[in-house]
Each structure stands twice: as structure tokens, then as C-alpha cells.
């Protein structure tokens, strides 16, 4: 079965571009380190 050529990003529907952008921002946020000051505050709460 032949594969269909992939669409370029500019050919995608706006909601698909927004979805990709949100996933990218989420992934960057997940990969951020937690500042030491925040970890210290969390330790004081626990």
C-alpha cells in the first residue's frame, strides 16, 4: 500500500497547529527542573 505524502505544517488545520504547539509547551514544562527554593518550601510543608 503506497503511503500518502505528509502535509506541510502550513497545510494543516489551525486546530492541529494549536494542538502541536500546546503539546510542545507542555513537554518543555514537564522537562523543566524545579528550583531549589521551591523544593525547600515543599519540604517545609511536608
Listed by start position, the domains of the chain span 13-45
Q: Would you state the pLDDT for residue 37? A: 97
CA distances from 40 to 34, 36, 46 (A): 10, 6, 10
Residue located via cell numbers 514544562 = 29
| pLDDT value for 9 | 56
Pick the closest to residue 14 from 6, 2, 22 (CA basis).
22
1-46 pLDDT, tens digit per residue, is: 677 776 665 668 999 999 999 999 999 999 999 999 999 999 999 8
Question: Any residues with CB less than 8 A from the CB of 17 and at least 6 apart, and which?
Answer: 9
d(CA 42, CA 22): 28
Report the distance separating Cα 5 and Cα 1, nearest Å.
Answer: 13
pTM for the structure as a whole: 0.53
Amino acid at each position: 500500500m503506497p503511503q500518502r505524502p505528509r502535509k506541510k505544517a502550513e497545510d494543516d488545520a489551525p486546530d492541529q497547529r494549536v494542538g502541536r504547539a500546546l503539546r510542545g509547551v507542555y513537554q518543555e514544562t514537564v522537562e523543566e527542573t524545579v528550583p531549589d527554593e521551591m523544593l525547600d518550601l515543599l519540604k517545609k510543608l511536608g
